[in-house]
Amino acid sequence: MSGISVVDRKQGSDAIRFVSFNVNGVRTLFHYQPFSQMNQSLKASFEYFDADVITFQELKTEKYGISKWGKVDDFYSFISIPSNKKGYSGVGCWVRKPEKDHPLYEALKVVKAEEGITGYLTVKVGGKEVRYKDDTSQGIGGYESLGLDETNDDEALTLDSEGRCVVVELACNIVVFNVYCPANSGQTDDGQLFRLKYLKVLYKRIRNLKALGKNIVLMGDINSCRDLIDQAEALEANMIQITSTTTGEDIEEKYSQLAYEFVMNPEAPQRRMLNQMLTDSIIPGISQDGILVDTTRYVQTKKRLKMYTVWNTLKNTRPVNYGSRIDFILLSKELQDYILQADILPDVMGSDHCPVYLDIDSNFFTKGNDYDQVKVPRFEAKFKYDLNHKNILDMFGSQNRKRQLPSNDPEDGSAGSSSTFKKSTSSRMVKGSTTSEVHDELLIKGTNIKQTGDCISERNVKKVSTSQTKLSFFNDRLPKAPLCKHGIEAILKTSKTPTNYGRRFWSCEKPNGDSGNKAGSCGFFQWVS
């Protein structure tokens, strides 16, 4: 998985392409090829994907940045960012505006759009702030029986306070949910409560809209694995070997009990909840009420394994494709026969996730209505953030006028945050592709310190020089590196475990991966004597 990936074009001008990408920082995306050649142009990146509806998760942008990402030529822009946390979460959905003679002109008209999943957030209409659920001209509907405390808005507002969902209704009767679902990376009780409540409300809202006759596209980072075959760590933990001829059906037939336990694990109820929404769960009876098709799995089938969409950056597992599949594009089962193509794009760099896409034939949609009279929703970025007339900072008060500079450090692709259901608590945690504890290690190899920015300050030059001197002094006194089982020099690490904290050891330089994978670590280990 290297080099610059070429994305296949759509199959015909009447096909609608949906693309989902957890970018883990929209600014960081443009540090990588081919995006680094696009002059930070979102439109150029959308054209690269040949996307009609494209959604990003983990924008990690702040209010001052919306003026850049919210104004994209020839696209409607809908962006939600956290109400309190800065540089965290955030989702965006952009919808192409085709020319009037284009086959998709009517289908892609945006009828309504909302921020959040509950309908309790507000939008300005006629100079007044109104809740989506209270204004039929703005709200999409489906707010009934969401399981929220209707006597107190705090619960709903807390769920929608982190910039995790944008909902867009298209004229072709598709309601698009772009989500960045909570992961509970901190493994806290409050975080798990928030996560499950969020999923419960999200899935109920989708079912309500389906009952109203809407077709659904649920796309984004759902932060849940649906099956055992979708998580490398689970396969490894159960000593399930994958060869070039192994298929998902083979594994689920041979290890049927393990596959069942993975989905129904009481400590991971998010997997069961996701499977209940699908039409093809492996659990008998659980998919009887399923309404959504896992489009990637539907097209690629279970013959294809290791179809991962996220990898652990700290452990550098992407080169050996040791990850999890938690990014999806799920489609109403009624549109299953209109699916043309669906796949992941693992060669596209720029994040710890990779993009996912779906092409559907638009001929399910009957054209002919007068959509020229449809007004652009007030949640569109130019209205929501008043991008037409003044600086974005003017809307948020003088306290935000101070110029905000980017961090000296590049955004870390492994960083994440766990949500808590109590508004008074939040924590930043390391995010990996699995829920197991991440063991910190200090990697010491060579003395080169690479410059990551376009320029470097005099202060940073001094830091680099000092660091190089220290590393050179340190490395001159190290014993000669032994050879690992690959026959290459091992690298030196420092243990951070409680029993051997600070003790140095040699290990294979290759990343961890499936056992037997020659491109992965050989398991070499030797304490420094």
Q: Is 106 annotated as a binding residue?
A: no
The CA-CA-CA angle for residues 439, 321, 259, to 5°, reads 85
Using DSSP, state whether 36 is helix, strand or coil.
Answer: helix
Q: What average pLDDT does range 218-241 have in this prediction?
A: 97
pLDDT at 498: 64
Nearest-CA neighbor of 20 among 307, 409, 333, 296? Answer: 296
Q: Is 58 annotated as a binding residue?
A: yes
pLDDT > 70: what percent of the chain?
Answer: 80
Q: How far is the C-alpha of 292 from the C-alpha of 370, rounded, in Å?
A: 30
pLDDT tens string 303-316: 999 999 999 999 99
Q: Is 400 annotated as a binding residue?
A: no
Helical (H) or strand (E) element with 207: helix 189-211
Q: How far is the C-alpha of 39 from the C-alpha of 264, rounded, in Å?
A: 47
Name residues whose C-beta falls within 8 Å of residue 336's C-beta, 6 or more positions apart in sequence: 293, 298
| Residue 353 appears among annotated catalytic residues | yes
Q: Which residue type occupies 38?
A: M
Give the relative orientation of helices 269-277 and 189-211 as an angle to the nearest 10 degrees: 10
Q: What average pLDDT does range 346-372 have in this prediction?
A: 91
Q: How far is the C-alpha of 109 from the C-alpha of 76, rounded, in Å?
A: 9
Q: What average pLDDT does range 249-273 have in this prediction?
A: 98
Q: Is 352 annotated as a binding residue?
A: yes
Q: Which of 72-81, 110-119, 127-136, 461-470 has the lowest mean pLDDT?
A: 461-470
Q: How far is the C-alpha of 238 from the C-alpha of 228, rounded, in Å?
A: 10
Q: Is 178 annotated as a binding residue?
A: no
Using DSSP, state whether 261 is helix, strand or coil.
Answer: helix
Rg of the chain over CA atoms, in angstroms? 24
Statement: residue 497 has pLDDT above 80: no
| Residue 221 appears among annotated catalytic residues | yes
Statement: residue 146 has pLDDT above 80: yes
Q: Which of 76, 132, 143, 180 is catalytic?
A: 180
pLDDT at 404: 43
Q: What average pLDDT does range 345-370 have in this prediction?
A: 93
Q: What is the DSSP string of 445-513?
A: --S-----SS---HHHHHHHHHHHHHHHHHHHTSPPPPB-TTSSB-EEEE--SSTTTT-EEEE-SSPP-
**Which residues is 78 bridged to in the sheet?**
93
pLDDT at 196: 98
Q: Which of 160, 221, 294, 514 is catalytic?
A: 221
Using DSSP, state whether 358 is helix, strand or coil.
Answer: strand
Query: Which class for 181: exposed (0-12), middle (13-18), buried (19 or more C-beta within 10 A)?
Result: buried
Q: What is the DSSP string of 136-186?
A: TTT-----TT-S--TT-THHHHHHTTT--EEEEEETTSEEEEEEE----TT
| Residue 180 appears among annotated catalytic residues | yes
Name residues whose C-beta falls within 8 Å of residue 320's C-beta, 6 or more positions apart in sequence: 510, 511, 512, 513, 514, 517, 519, 520
Distances (CA, A) of 110 to 45, 372, 452, 527: 21, 11, 40, 62
Statement: residue 436 has pLDDT above 70: no
Q: Which of 76, 160, 353, 514 is catalytic?
A: 353
Q: Is 31 annotated as a binding residue?
A: no
pLDDT tens string 115-137: 999 999 999 998 899 999 999 99
Question: How many residues in total does the chain contain?
Answer: 529
Task: Copy the structure tokens of residue 31.
Answer: 């540090």
pLDDT at 198: 98
Q: Which of 61-65, 174-178, 269-273, 296-300 has the lowest mean pLDDT?
A: 61-65
Helices (H), 265-409: 269-277, 295-300, 381-384
